[in-house]
Structure formats: C-alpha cells, structure tokens
Amino acid sequence: MEQGTSDPSSQEAPTAPPPPPAEARKTQRTLDDFLAGGLTEGGEGDPSASASSVSRTPAAPAEPPLPEGMLLEEGEGGFVVHPLLRASRVRAYPFQLSIARAALETDVLVVLPTGLGKTVIAALVAAERVRCRRGKVLFLAPTRPLVEQHARSFAHWFRSLPRATFTGSIQSPKREGAWDPSDAIFATPQLVVNDLAEGRYSLKDVALLIFDEAHRSVGQYAYVKIAAIYRSQRPEERRVLGLTASPGGKGAKIDEVLGALGISRVEARTREDPDVAAYVQNVETTQVKVRLPPEVEEVRNELRAAAHESMVSLQRMGFLRNKPLRVTGVKDLLATRGMIMARPGPMGRKFGALYKLMLAMHFYHAGELLETQGVAPLLDYIERLSTKPKPGKADRAFVAHPAVVKAVEKGREQLQGSTSSSHPKMAELLGLVQETLTSKPEAKVLVFAQFRDTVRSIVEDLGSHGVRAKRFVGQATRSEEDKGMDQKEQGRILEDFRSGKFPVLVASSVAEEGIDIPDVDLVVFFEALPSEIRTIQRKGRTGRSSAGRVVILMTQGTRDEGYHRAERKRESAMMRHVRRFSAEGNVPSSEAAAPSPPADGSREELSRKVRRRRAPASEPTDPAPGP
C-alpha cells in the first residue's frame, strides 16, 4: 500500500447550482452518519496518513445508502461536498458533474481535451461507487508515472481510501496481499494481465474499472484482454469508464475502442462547447513557415530522385501499385515488407525486393530528416549507418550513393558556416523562446521534436545562445551519445522544470502522454504531425491554468504541409464521429458486440498468451531512429 500527496491545479469556481429539492434534503445524511456506518477517516487534512491505518467496523448503517449520484452536487465555492472527499479539495464544474452522473448510470467513454479534468470525473464516479459499497475501483494507466500520478491525486482528494499501487516495482507477493484490503488499486495493464493469468486475484469484486488513455484499447493491447475478463468475471453490477483526449480520426477505430471496452455511451466535450467555454483558458494556435536554402533543396531533390528510383524497381516487381509513387509514404513501405514476405517461394527469391525496399526506406527517411529536422540530424543518421558493426548490403549501398555523399559534403559545409544553423526552423524557434522569456521571465516552454537527434540538436543550439534547456527522452539507449533516461532521471528533470530551474524542456514523443508534465506557457512543434491523437496530446500541455500558445513550425513545399493537412482532416473527422456517437447515446448495433471473453476460469489459455508475449522476438529492421 502506498499513499502520497499532490497539488493538482485548481480550477476557478463556477456558479453555484440551485439547492436540491426539499425531498432530497430530507434524506441527506451528515458526515457523522456515514462515519458511524463503518468508515474511519485517517486524519482530516493529512494526505500522508497510512492507508493501512484505515479501519472498518462491522456495524451496518441505520439505512441503506442514498442512490448513486445523489451526493454529486456542488457546495460553496464550487467544491464537491461528499462524505469520502476532503473538504474544499475537489472543485468540479457543472459539465464534469453531468458526465460523472452519466457514468454512474451506464458505461461511458469520456472524450475531453487534456486539462479539462478527466481524472476529477473519475474520482467523483469512484467516490460514489465506493460509498454505495458496490466494490473496488481498479484504475489502469499505460505507464508507471501516470499510475503514480493518479494515486497521488486520489490521496490528495479522498478522506480515507484504502488503496494500493501496482507497477513493475512492486513484487507479486505484495500485490497479491494488497488486493483484498484495498478499495482502490492503481495499476499498469500488462501487470494486471499477468497477475490474472497467475490467479493472484480476480476482477469479480471490481465495481468500477477505469481505463486512462482509452484510445489504446485496440488490437492486442492489454486493455482489450482486461475488459473481456472483467465482463466474464463480473457479469452484473459492473461499470466501465474510459478516459481519452482523442479516440481516433476514423469511425472504425472509435467503434473498435467502444466495442473492446463494451461501452455503450460517449460523453464528449470540446473547449468551444457552451457548458465548457466559460471554464477553460484560451489557447492560440499558429503556424510559422520557413523555406529551405537553395543548396539544401538541391540535395533534397537528389534524395527524392534516389527514393523514386528504388520504388520504381519495387513496382516492376509487383509492389507499390495501389497509389501514385509521389504520395507513397512510410506506412506503404512498411506494409510492403509484409507483402514481400507473404509471397510464395524460397527466401532467396525475396532478397532482391527486400534490398530495394530497404534502400527506398533509407532514402525516404533521409529526405524527411533533411526537410523537417535539419542537416545535423541527417548527418547523425548517415554516421550511424556508416559505423554499424555489421552493416547490411542496403546500408552500404545507401551510404555510398552519390546523393548521400553529396548530402554529407554540403551538410558539413553548412554547419561549419559561422552564421548557419542546421535548419531555418532553428532561428524561428530561438526567436519564439527568447520572445516568451523576455515578456515573462518565469515562463515555461515545451518543445516537441519527432526524433532524438533533433532533440539533442535543439538543446545544443539553444544553449549556444544562452538559453537553458534540457532534453527529455525515453528509456532506450541508442549509443554513447544518445543515452536513454530511466524513470528516476525523467522524474528529476520534470521536477527541476516544474520548480523553474530551467525554462525550456525539449522532448521526444515520450512526453505526449503518460507523463505528468506541468502546465506551460508555450508549446512548439518542431514539425507537423499526421496523427490527430498525438497533435491533440501535444496541444493539451498548455492552456490549463492560464492562457497558452501553440506554434507549429513547418517547411514550405515539404511533407510538413502534407502532414498538417492530413492531421486537420483527421481531427475534424474524429470530432464528427465522436459527436455522432455522443448524440446517438450508444454504440452502433453493428459494432456493439464486444470481443468474446475467455470463459470464467480459463486461466490456462490466458497464461499461454502471456508466455507467448514474454517470449523474445527479433526486432523488425527500421532505419528510422525512434523518439
């Protein structure tokens, strides 16, 4: 068991609602009535009190608890008055209370932009389910930092809630022993799948199952398995609550999420909705466009020509024939590998196509780096390939290609210039950061970059101009120059950023979700993204407690512009689909059937799946460095 504290950002007090009807007031019990019913709080105002010190008495209440939702009302100052919540701790806006009441009636997917209080809604629903003695609350989140963040928030809000945190750092005997005495468990999903497979506990006592970042509930992700097991082990009196800022831009994807979780209702809000607009801060989004220098454009064009030549070769072999080559992207290239491997015949006959495919992927990625990231990340990429201990045939051919040799020569010349930068975006980024810090010295700036080479390049460039910046990347170590960060180091960097020890955090995609990033004044996208989910998550890092600003840097005439158009189209489609589901009130009948759960007690089958997941597998070859 563990308990901690946090200081979630406060929300401005909304207008108090009218008092409840007289008949509701007559049956309203006092806090003392609830405490007499068996719940002993562990010290008002002391969030560090041990959860294990909470005691329960066998005395039954004089009357059954009020129906669920009856106590979800605003009190003075907009704070929720509830027997399980600390006084003046949880401020909920009317739209949050409305969504929470809906989530008590049926299974709900909550779609809210980041910063609009999805965790507050989860806490309100959890408080009512526990108050009415329905059972436990299981709160799932995809990463350990996010799990711990939710546990701290509940510790800060609840008067007394026996709880446990299940992450990879907690050994299985402790998890098994902590399950029964806990009213709330916060856990990562794969660990719960493993524990269920080993029979350490079951979900039959779980009254509320919360899926944070619920858009992950597709394919073979652990959320899908847990939801199916939950339906099997608790057929009645169960409740599912999904939380996400962006469920996806395709109707089929949203259908899959709803079907996997067995959810029948969508509650969606945007910043522009009438019941939300009064309670959110303004976020200004702008695009800043730059042009590549003529000499860089020349190199880019030669890389494009080389990529086109490789793709033409693949077309002659019968691949890449579904769309024009000029709009063929990395997803098409990755899918081609599966098509090559699926063709009948001995492996030796497939090497030629795989060789051309790898060349095409190298050239495609090199062109993207040069267009959207800069000369320095491109040179880093070529250097890694040329110094690989065992380079492949395609690696050697790529590095020796005339277009690549020319790119290296021109790139080094540009970086050696006294006033040259890796990319024209660098000058724009520096100007934005300096302008923000000059107008508000205590401001915080978050810069997102797709590739770790770019992250390092940005930190170095800002540092050379006197701007204190730190990198923030994932745990994987690529090389001596590109070391990963474990969770302790990530936590230390974030705490230093939060306390103002440095003003600029330069992050890879690892900071888009699953990490407790403090509210910032300016978010800069170093490149446009085609993903509506990632774009929404990035934008949500600002505009929480005060007005925010988002700037997207784009290179004219490059895939930056194409990515941005694709993202806007997908985000608009996502909102249309979400609003349709929200208006209909339930999942379309053709998609409502959830995946068939394993039969109750089919522990052997689940164990086999877990063992297969744990089995080592060779990593696919991908020339693009990860974030």
In terms of C-beta density within 10 A (0-12 exposed, 13-18 middle, 19 or more buried), how is residue 353 classed? buried
The larger pLDDT score, comparing residue 26 to residue 260, is at: 260
Q: What is the pLDDT of residue 396?
A: 96
Same-domain pairing of 95 and 218: yes
Q: What is the pLDDT of residue 174?
A: 83
Same-domain pairing of 121 and 78: yes
Same-domain pairing of 121 and 185: yes
- pLDDT tens digit sequence for 107-125: 999 999 888 899 999 999 9
Quick check: 600 pLDDT over 50? no
Q: What is the pLDDT of residue 67?
A: 67
Quick check: 38 pLDDT over 70? no
The CATH number for 384's domain is: 1.20.1320.20
Neighbour-count burial for 313-348, b at 16+ CB within 10 Å, e otherwise: bbeebebbeeeeeeebbbebbeebbeebeeeeeeee
Quick check: 496 pLDDT over 90? yes
Reduced to 3 states, what is the DSSP secondary structure of residue 442? coil
Q: What is the pLDDT of residue 624?
A: 39
Q: What is the pLDDT of residue 54?
A: 34
- Mean pLDDT taken over the chain: 82
Under the banding of pLDDT at 50, 70 and 90, the label for residue 66 is low
Q: Report how far residue 503's alpha carbon sits from residue 437's, in angstroms, rounded to the nearest whole number.
A: 8
Concatenated DSSP letters of 537-592: HHHTTBSSSS-EEEEEEEETTSHHHHHHHHHHHHHHHHHHHHHHHHHH-S--TTT-
Q: What is the pLDDT of residue 280?
A: 82
Instruction: Give, in order, the Cα–Cα distances in Å from 413 to each of 298, 393, 405.
Output: 14, 28, 13
Same-domain pairing of 450 and 340: no
In a domain, residue 513? The reply is yes
Same-domain pairing of 230 and 320: no
In a domain, residue 622? The reply is no
Q: Report how far residue 410's alpha carbon sits from residue 69's, in angstroms, rounded to the nearest whole number.
A: 67
Share of the chain above pLDDT 90, in %: 58
Q: Please say which residue of 366, 384, 416 terminates a domain.
A: 416
Ranges 71-85, 405-419, 576-590: which has the least confidence:
576-590
Residue 433 and residue 462 in contact, taking contact as beta carbons nearer than 8 Å: yes
In a domain, residue 6? The reply is no
Same-domain pairing of 99 and 231: yes
Residue 222 and residue 193 in contact, taking contact as beta carbons nearer than 8 Å: yes
Q: Report how far residue 142's alpha carbon sits from residue 120's, in angstroms, rounded to the nearest whole number.
A: 18
Pairing label, strands 522-525, 504-507: unpaired
Same-domain pairing of 512 and 408: no
Q: What is the pLDDT of residue 164?
A: 94
Under the banding of pLDDT at 50, 70 and 90, the label for residue 17 is very low
Residue 494 and residue 516 in contact, taking contact as beta carbons nearer than 8 Å: yes
Quick check: 524 pLDDT over 60? yes
Q: Please say which residue of 530, 565, 600 terminates a domain.
A: 565
Under the banding of pLDDT at 50, 70 and 90, the label for residue 65 is low
Total domains present in the chain: 3
- pLDDT tens digit sequence for 253-271: 999 999 999 998 999 998 8
In a domain, residue 584? The reply is no
Q: Please say which residue of 416, 435, 462 terminates a domain.
A: 416
Q: What is the pLDDT of residue 231?
A: 96
The CATH number for 532's domain is: 3.40.50.300
Phi and psi of 349, rounded to 5°?
-80, -10
Q: What is the pLDDT of residue 15?
A: 40
Same-domain pairing of 551 and 448: yes
Under the banding of pLDDT at 50, 70 and 90, the label for residue 340 is very high
Q: Report how far residue 402's alpha carbon sits from residue 451's, in angstroms, rounded to the nearest whole number.
A: 25
Same-domain pairing of 350 and 238: no
Same-domain pairing of 403 and 428: no
Q: What is the pLDDT of residue 577?
A: 85
- pLDDT tens digit sequence for 175-196: 888 999 999 999 999 999 999 9
In a domain, residue 617? The reply is no
Q: What is the pLDDT of residue 593?
A: 42
Read off the pLDDT of each residue in 273-282 and give the average, rounded to a whole number.
86
In terms of C-beta density within 10 A (0-12 exposed, 13-18 middle, 19 or more buried), how is residue 619 classed? exposed
Q: What is the pLDDT of residue 116?
A: 86
The larger pLDDT score, comparing residue 87 to residue 504, is at: 504
Closest CA to 288 of 435, 407, 451: 435
- pLDDT tens digit sequence for 579-595: 887 776 554 433 444 44
Ranked by mean pLDDT, the top range of 9-18, 319-328, 541-550 is 319-328
Share of the chain above pLDDT 70, in %: 81
**Residue 501 lies in domain:** 283-291+421-565
Same-domain pairing of 394 and 473: no
Q: Report how far residue 212's alpha carbon sits from residue 107's, in angstroms, rounded to the nearest whole number.
A: 14
Q: Report how far residue 143's alpha carbon sits from residue 151's, in angstroms, rounded to the nearest whole number.
A: 13
Instruction: Give, in order, the Cα–Cα distances in Å from 437 to each of 56, 64, 466, 551.
Output: 53, 57, 12, 15
Same-domain pairing of 240 and 128: yes
Under the banding of pLDDT at 50, 70 and 90, the label for residue 482 is confident
In a domain, residue 64? The reply is no
In this structure, the number of other CB atoms found within 10 A of the CB of residue 247 comes to 27
Residue 447 and residue 458 in contact, taking contact as beta carbons nearer than 8 Å: yes
Read off the pLDDT of each residue in 492-509 and give the average, rounded to a whole number.
94
The larger pLDDT score, comparing residue 32 to residue 542, is at: 542
Q: Report how far residue 171's alpha carbon sits from residue 200's, in angstroms, rounded to the nearest whole number.
A: 12
Under the banding of pLDDT at 50, 70 and 90, the label for residue 251 is confident
In a domain, residue 237? The reply is yes
In a domain, residue 400? The reply is yes
Quick check: 607 pLDDT over 60? no
- Residue spans of alpha helices (H) in 278-326: 294-316
